[in-house]
Chain A
Amino acid sequence: MTEQIVASVDTSKPTAMGRLRTRLVIRDYAIVVSFLALFITLSVASSAFLTKANLLNLLDQSTAIGIIACAGTFVIIAGGFDLSVGAIYALTGVIAAKMALQIDPVIGLALGLAVGVVAGLINGLIITWGRVNSFIATLAAALVIVGTASAITNGELITVVDPAFTVLGTDKLLGVKYSIWIFVVVIAASWFLLDRTQLGRYIYAVGGNAAAASLSGVRVARVRVITFCLSGFAAGLAGIIIASRNATGQSDSGMGLELSVIAAIVIGGTSIVGGEGAIWRTVIGVLLLAMINNGFNLLNFNPTYQQMVQGGIILIAVIADARARGRLRAA
């Protein structure tokens, strides 16, 4: 009797549930198909696209956004937003450059990184202890941080001529810039952290259902703080790489960076409401945005339309996410 009832419930499900799963698979891989389609189109349309120089250039241009977006993926999956990464990126560059002039280039770069982590920690504590919405907290933090950066520079560029400062951003290993190697390492480490570690599991749990995570013994606030620290660290890392590449620290260099970061994460298919997503998605999102820019250059399209295309793609990604969610609720 018992078995019969359970069995009958289960056999009535497969069609609806099967369809649901098929839909999820289509949604899951639509971004991969789009990426490949654009890649092939550009390869055919422009002889300059599929060259080692161009592809390395494309990666090099993606490093800052890419590194920050990997850590930003943790923040968003855990159910938060970090709008202060552009500001942290600028501040760390400024501090690295300033310290390089006053003390030592290497110490300057290290200090820049440390500042990123501290800024992330403060963000995290304000959001968890202070119970402030992460969107607002990091928006306010961004203003404070950019203000600090311009107070340090007095609104001027800080130029560092010491060659030790520019090694990180300009030198190469095996014909590939250090910055690209660092990007690759960050991708691998982020993937490992999210997919393989206890912390990664907790990040998904906190963003997917904070109440359930808490009732399962997960220290929700601690996990959130860690994601903001990682985000601050990544923004700091990107900040010193770019400061090193340009040999300058500039207080307004990070303007709008946080929006590109969030756009890349969302385009990849990581859900903006948290609990779902992956590093490979973010990497594809970052590269897709970079390819669009690259394509506009190579094909001599009017750059005026570039932002429109990017905005359109972001909308499509968000609508796809919302629709998938709505269907799931209905099912």
Chain B
Amino acid sequence: MSEVPAAQPHVRLRGVCKRFGGVLAVDHVDVDIESGIVHALVGENGAGKSTLGKIVAGVHAPDSGELWVDGRRVHYGAPHDALAHGITMIAQELALVPARSVVENVYLGVESHRAGLVQRRRIRQRYDALCADVGFSLPADRAVGSLSIAEQQKVEILRAIARRARLIVMDEPTAALGPTEIEQLIATIRRLRDRGTTIVYVSHFLEEVLAIADTVTVMRDGRVVRTSPAAGETPATLVTAMLGRRMDQAFPAKVFPDDAAPTVLSVRGLSVAPLVHDVSFDVRAGEIVGLAGLVGSGRSETARAIFGAERLDDGTIHLDGQEIRPSSTREAIDHGIALIPEDRKGQGLLMRRSVIENVTLPHLELVTKGGVVARNLERRRSDAVVESVAIDRAKRAVAVETLSGGNQQKVMFAKWLLARPRVLIADEPTRGVDVGAKRAIYDFLQTLAQEGMAVVVISSDVDEIIGLAHRIVVLRAGRGVDELDGRIATEDDVIHAAFGTSVAA
């Protein structure tokens, strides 16, 4: 291994920026990653830690700023350019060929061969040497698909080392692991570090980060708050740094429902194996309830279960006092429940169809006579809702994919306004939209609530939850762990409940 002079960091980032649509995900970041250590990147959901990791690994190219590796300025065009500098990434979703053996996966694309023939014996020798070097024992001939996730991660690590990687970026590597597997992974990472590999460890599990990292960089809103030795940090100091105070974001004034407002949606003991266990909450007419929690805490699954898109294993749902058990989205919609899913492109919209077609899809029966779409009626009714969400009427006939992210999100709202739902659940309603459209969406939500709708907002953006919600239900690991009053709850309360840390003294 070529040693890097101690004075020179392995990777140096200077003024690095990365924008996605209207959002500055990484904002003028300066970080030095020293050689041969475990350097953790922590922050809330959306703080930019994952994006920064991907910039280091060449998955994303920065929009501006400088990237230096081993003291040389580099420009990556693609991940394999980063690999040429000995840098690679192990993503959250592993990229292995499940039906092929461990050896084949490790050397995929870099097989020893002579005259086009793969030299199995030579590869096997290299594999054994590699395992001895890294200190792993993995069955060489087992199909990767039959291994546990932790073992599959080891295959990814071997693959990285086989490609002479000297720096490995790991993005939330423990997200899918159990406690013993996490210990194994931590031991593996220590072993790699001890043989000189630099690890960039992206995670929001603070205990774990403190157990493993030498240096921690805390990020907030795309910026670096501080980079400091892990030995000087505790979960509480990290959380405090992650919170900070942000630029004021304009939220509409909260209008709380009457004390007499009836309960519209009542969820009791909701369970959806394996992600949601015994979640209960109520939403009253005119109320906005925020569902807060980390990614993977079961918020979206809770919403999908209420919407009939996920099978309920246990629990009851009451709508206006009547028990309902929607077994399909159609039934839920007919009961007056609406869901705006988090993944606009994947689950929300028909990107290549017109705004009108998207808007009328859930309630086509309202503009259909004898199975035939009454196009004038459809245009009139959809115009009304398209205008109510402030999309230019001239855009109604264009394909949704040609609209900006903010306008696409508004189409998602318009879809449900053709027939006023009783309950509107919005999952990450402002993801990937610019500041102006954000405010417009906050205004809709507040207006809809004021008109008597029961609104549930799911968001990873704690500011948004605090700014919008009348009441906040916090989920952690699929359980409802706390319920906070939107009048007095602070960001700290929500984050501490979500992370399960006690409030710092």
Contacts and interface: CB of A to CB of B under 8 A. Distances in A.
A211 interface: yes
Interface stretch (A9-17, A45-53, A103-111, A309-317): A9-17
Contacts of A276: 352
B339 A215 contact: yes
Contacts of B404: 9-10, 13
Q: Which residue of A9, A218, A275 has the most chain B CB atoms within 10 A of its CB atom?
A: A9
Identify the interface centre among A199, A200, A209, A214: most chain B CB within 10 Å of its CB: A209
A302 interface: no
Q: Which of A1, A205, A211, A212 has the most CB of B within 10 A?
A: A212
Contacts of A216: 329, 333, 361-362, 415
A200 B372 CA distance: 9
Interface in B297-352: 307, 309, 328-330, 332-334, 339, 341, 346-352
Given A5-B435, A9-B22, A201-B361, A275 B347 contact: no
B436 A3 contact: yes
Contacts of A21: 398, 402
Given A13-B404, A204-B357, A212-B347, A196 B372 contact: yes
A212 B348 contact: yes
Contact of B373 (A17, A198, A209): A198
B347 A215 contact: yes
A276 B399 CA distance: 12
Interface string B429-449: 000001111011000000000
Contacts of A17: 402
B8 interface: no
A6 B406 CA distance: 8
A212 B350 contact: yes
B345 to A, nearest CB: 8
Contact of A209 (B22, B351, B362): B351
A201 B357 contact: yes
A4 B347 CA distance: 30
B401 interface: yes
Interface in B394-415: 398, 401-402, 404, 406, 415
B364 interface: yes
Contacts of A4: 436
B349 A1 contact: no
Interface residues of A, number: 35
A201 B440 CA distance: 30
A2 B398 CA distance: 24
Contact of B361 (A10, A197, A205): A205
B353 interface: yes
A20 B437 CA distance: 24
B415 A197 contact: no
B365 interface: yes
A3 B392 CA distance: 13
A208 interface: yes
A172 interface: no
A1 B361 CA distance: 33
B433 to A, nearest CB: 10
Interface in A11-58: 13, 17, 20-21
A1 B440 CA distance: 12
B116 interface: no
A6 B436 contact: yes
B348 A215 contact: yes
B402 A6 contact: no
B368 interface: yes
A205 B350 contact: yes
B371 interface: yes
Contacts of B398: 21
A205 B404 CA distance: 21
A192 to B, nearest CB: 8
A217 interface: yes
B309 A214 contact: yes
A167 interface: no
B350 A209 contact: yes
A131 interface: no
Contacts of A3: 436
A247 B117 CA distance: 58
A208 B401 CA distance: 12
A201 B373 contact: yes
Given A3-B436, A196-B373, A197-B373, A209 B330 contact: no
A284 B443 CA distance: 49
B361 A198 contact: no
Given A197-B373, A198-B373, A201-B361, A208 B439 contact: no
Given A3-B436, A197-B372, A208 B329 contact: no
A165 to B, nearest CB: 34
Contacts of B406: 6, 9
Interface string B416-437: 0000000000000000001111
Contacts of B436: 1-6, 9
A217 B330 contact: yes
A49 to B, nearest CB: 37
A10 B408 CA distance: 13
Given A10-B404, A200-B373, A201-B373, 8 more contacts: A13-B404, A17-B402, A197-B372, A198-B373, A209-B347, A212-B341, A212-B350, A216-B361
10 contacts: A2-B440, A9-B434, A13-B402, A196-B375, A198-B371, A205-B353, A215-B309, A216-B329, A219-B330, A275-B353
